[in-house]
Chains A and B, each alone.
Chain A
Amino acid sequence: EAQVTQNPRYLITVTGKKLTVTCSQNMNHEYMSWYRQDPGLGLRQIYYSMNVEVTDKGDVPEGYKVSRKEKRNFPLILESPSPNQTSLYFCASTLTSGSGGELFFGEGSRLTVL
């Protein structure tokens, strides 16, 4: 089954404790992206990657890091989480970065930073 898988789905952590949210897709997609969803703010793009070893900042990259060492994986790293990073995070992928592509989303990771 074609899918985007995120882990963990739920996480409560404390300020400053490094964490990684993993994202994996099995569709051989070149393009992957991370978003955060906050009430009243819709979805905002954090980082995206057009291919292996190619990443770029989205609209809200501060406090986050990403890497793309393999085509299927695109982890989101919070080196020193803060309470304002409490949010619902989505990973998405599409075949190429061409604008006609449908985004396939994971089920989301709800993060709470105390």
Chain B
Amino acid sequence: GDSVTQMEGPVTLSEEAFLTINCTYTATGYPSLFWYVQYPGEGLQLLLKATKADDKGSNKGFEATYRKETTSFHLEKGSVQVSDSAVYFCALGTNAGKSTFGDGTTLTVKP
């Protein structure tokens, strides 16, 4: 079946550091890929998405590129802020209606 593997956390960075959270997937067909973010006490919200190979999703300074050859969708940000502290989930979605999420990576950014 489909699966998503995320880099294990937690991740702690200083403000303005570079962030990478690795995500790889296994899926049949051609899924769409997503990054969701969960701030403390809240539900998940979409951070960015890519619907086909080589697409780059971007939002709020975060980026991720859909790499079919390496089945990856790594999340990057050049300079993190304290307000980026949250849990980040990589996910894939299929036309069959199923969504598969990674385990989540907790990011803490210190001033």
A and B bound? Answer: yes
Most A-side CB within 10 Å, residue of B30, B94, B95 = B95
**Interface size of B in residues (CB-CB distance below 8 Å):** 27
B95 with A99: CB separation less than 8 A: yes
Closest to B104 in A: A42
C-alpha gap A107/B36 in the complex (Å)? 14
User: In the complex, A101 Cα to B98 Cα: how many Å?
Assistant: 12
- Chain A neighbourhood of B103, CB < 8 A: 40-42
Which residues of B63-108 have CB atoms within 8 Å of chain A's CB atoms? 89, 91, 93-104
Q: Are B45 and A99 in contact (CB under 8 A)?
A: no
- On whether the beta carbons of A105 and B44 are closer than 8 Å, the reply is yes
Q: How far is the CA of A40 from the CA of B6 in the complex (A)?
A: 11
Contacts of A102 in B (CB 8 A): 34, 46, 49
From the candidates B94, B97, B104, name the one contacting A56 in the complex (CB within 8 A). Answer: B97
Interface residues of B (CB under 8 A from A): 6, 30-32, 34, 36, 42-46, 49, 51, 89, 91, 93-104
